[in-house]
Structure 1
Amino acid sequence: MKRFVLKDYEVLNITNGDLNRDAYPDAVMVLYKKGEEKTSNVIDHPEKRPLLILLGKADKTYKLAYRNDNAVYCVDCGGQMGDPFMEIVIKNGYFSVEHYGGSAQRWTRIITFKFNAANKKWLLHKDGHEYFDATAPDKPVSKVQTGKNFGNVPFEKFNIYREQ
């Protein structure tokens, strides 16, 4: 999988699973730019973290299916909580990008994409936010948007930095 790592980048996370419901194991790889903690500025210049969808092949190699540089928050996008990236979860043709951040006002954001077998693409399935005060964590406010709210958004067109 090293061949998919871009110049001046490192692997932040690799998660394996069945992304396209076939017989071969697939992977989602998240990359980060070397030294991003010094060069990223959440307001003016967030260092992008490419997310790669890698599909498994019969010869046990992978091919790059899609790349999106706007599906994972930057290193300093989490506020005082630090790097907001938590993990990638893959299950039955779905994958989710999970984030957590804030300070006294905490938040989570879980963005889920679903494989569409008809057009062999991943579409935005759900975009969920939860907000809560650290002094009252048992009183969260949730907001979940689905295709009814945003229509058909292909994975490669999704932009986490766009205002909700």
Structure 2
Amino acid sequence: MKITLFFATFFQLLTTNSIHHIQQQDEVQVPVILRKNIPKGYEVLAFEKGDLNRDAYADVILVLKKKGEEKTSDVNDHPEKRPLLILLGQADKSYTLAARSDNSVYCVDCGGMMGDPFTGISIKNGYFSVEHYGGSGQRWTRIVTFKYSPAEKNWFLFKDGGDRFHATAPEEVKTEVRTVKNFGKIPFQKFDIYKHED
């Protein structure tokens, strides 16, 4: 009974994330001070504040998307990349671009039948995670987490993994999480979510 209740709650959360996808299609509003970081032809997909480098100032992650990406992206031959920008808060309340990756967020059509797989960003105490959910009959989640290194003033891949289950049997979940022991030391800028592991 408890197991069934757990997976019913889990499935409800995934459904809520799918609804969140639909709501994300509205343009995300960001403070004027951050708009200079948005290249021409792009708009903000996600905006999240938090502590990314363990100092006294709030930092920001922006995930960008190309305008009209749903018409130009081809998951097989030409996925439309979504830049992720790390902006560090300064004492004067400005922000400095610290890092950028075009390969940390899946493309708009990378989620299969479930549509756009991107569900959000979470930030906590020098860690941040990029979260996805997709599939069709066979569903999957993927959460990629990076950790800040004060010594190197950079973020490194910390964990990469998620769950797999069939839509008709959401209680039969297979979880796989890889860590530094598996993939070694990978800087945020060199991580590639599109790279297929053996």
Whether TM-score is above 0.5 comes out as yes
In structure 1, the partner of 2:149 is: 116
- Percent identical among aligned pairs is 66
What is the CA–CA distance in structure 2 between the aligned matches of 1:97 and 1:115, rounded to whole Å? 15
CA deviations over 1:18-57 (Å, ceiling 9, x no partner)? 0000000001100000000000000000000000000000
Q: Out of 70, 84, 87, which is 2:117 matched to?
A: 84
In structure 2, the partner of 1:146 is: 179
In structure 2, the partner of 1:33 is: 66
How do residues 1-164 of structure 1 correspond to structure 2 at under 5 angstroms? 1-164=34-197
CA deviations over 1:98-139 (Å, ceiling 9, x no partner)? 000001100000000000111111000000121000000011
More helix by share: 2
More strand by share: 1
SS of the equivalent of 1:37 reads helix
Cα offset for 1:159? 0.2
User: Would you identify which runs of 4 or more consecutive aligned residues in structure 1 move more than 3 Å?
Assistant: none
SS of the equivalent of 2:152 reads coil
What is the CA–CA distance in structure 1 between the aligned matches of 2:116 and 2:82, rounded to whole Å? 12
SS of the equivalent of 2:70 reads helix
What is the CA–CA distance in structure 1 between the aligned matches of 2:192 and 2:46, rounded to whole Å? 19
* Contiguous gaps of at least 5 residues in structure 1: none
